[in-house]
Amino acid sequence: MCKKDDILMRIFQIFKPYNGRLMRFWFGGSLLIGLCDPDHVQKILSSPKLVIKHEIYDFMKVFLGQGLITGSGPLHKQHRRLIQPLFDIKFIQDSEKLFRKHVTVCIGKLEKFMDKGKFDITPLIHECIIDYFSEIILGLPFRCQLKGMSDFDQAMIEVFDLIFARMTQLHLQFGILFNLSSYKSVQDRLKRIIRGQGQKALEESRKRRSQLTKDPTIEEKFSPLIDRITNVLGEINDEQIIDHILTLYAAAEDTISNIAVFFVVCLGIYPEYQDKAVKEIEETIGKSKIPTLEDVPKLKYIDSCLKEVLRLFPIAPLIIRKCSEDYKLENYVIPEGAAIVVPVFNIHRDPAHWERPHDFYPDHFIPEKVVKRHIYSYLPFSAGPRGCIGKLISHNALKIFICIFLQHFKVEVDGKLSDLDLKMDISVRPKNSYNIMLKRRNWH
DSSP 185-244: HHHHHHHHHHHHHHHHHHHHHHHHHHHHHH-TTS------HHHHHHHHH-S--HHHHHHH
C-beta of residue 72 within 8 angstroms of C-beta of residue 52: yes
For the chain, give every domain's residue range: 4-435
pLDDT at site 388: 85
C-beta of residue 15 within 8 angstroms of C-beta of residue 23: yes
| Residue 319 β-bridge partners | 342
Edge-to-edge strand list for the sheet holding 339-342:
22-27, 30-35, 339-342, 319-322
Main-chain dihedrals φ then ψ at residue 217, nearest 5 degrees: -80, -15
Q: Can you tell me the distance from the alpha carbon of 370 to that of 374, in angstroms, rounded to the nearest whole number?
A: 8
Largest CA distance in the chain: 66
Q: Which residues are annotated as a binding site?
A: 388
Per-residue pLDDT of the chain (444 residues; tens, 9 = 90+): 788 899 999 999 999 988 778 999 888 788 999 999 999 999 999 988 888 888 888 899 999 998 888 888 787 888 888 888 888 888 888 898 899 999 999 999 999 999 999 999 999 999 999 999 999 999 998 789 999 999 999 999 999 999 999 988 888 989 999 999 999 999 999 999 999 999 999 999 988 888 877 665 555 578 899 999 988 877 678 898 999 999 999 989 999 999 999 999 999 999 999 999 999 999 999 988 889 889 999 999 999 999 999 999 998 999 999 998 999 998 899 999 999 999 999 999 999 999 999 999 999 999 999 999 999 999 998 888 888 888 889 999 999 999 999 999 999 999 899 889 999 988 899 988 888 999 999 886
Q: How many residues does the chain have?
A: 444
Quick one: which of 195, 191, 227 has its CA closest to 212?
227
C-beta of residue 98 within 8 angstroms of C-beta of residue 129: no
C-beta of residue 47 within 8 angstroms of C-beta of residue 354: no
| Residue 334 β-bridge partners | 327
Quick one: which of 380, 149, 133, 136 has its CA closest to 250?
133
DSSP 398-428: HHHHHHHHHHHEEEE--S-GGG--EEESSSE
C-beta of residue 159 within 8 angstroms of C-beta of residue 61: no
Q: Can you tell me the distance from the alpha carbon of 170 to that of 172, in angstroms, rounded to the nearest whole number?
A: 5
Quick one: which of 268, 275, 289 has its CA closest to 404?
289
CATH superfamily of 4-435: Cytochrome P450 (1.10.630.10)
Q: Can you tell me the distance from the alpha carbon of 408 to that of 402, in angstroms, rounded to the nearest whole number?
A: 10
User: CA separation (Å) from 333 to 33, 45, 57, 109, 422?
Assistant: 10, 16, 24, 56, 34
Q: Which residues are annotated as a binding site for heme?
A: 388
pLDDT at site 55: 85
Task: Name the region of 286 (left: φ>0; alpha: ψ -120 to 50; beta: rest).
Answer: left
pTM over the 0.95 mark: no
DSSP 287-337: SSPPP-TTTGGG-HHHHHHHHHHHHHS-S-S-EEEE--S-EEETTEEEPTT
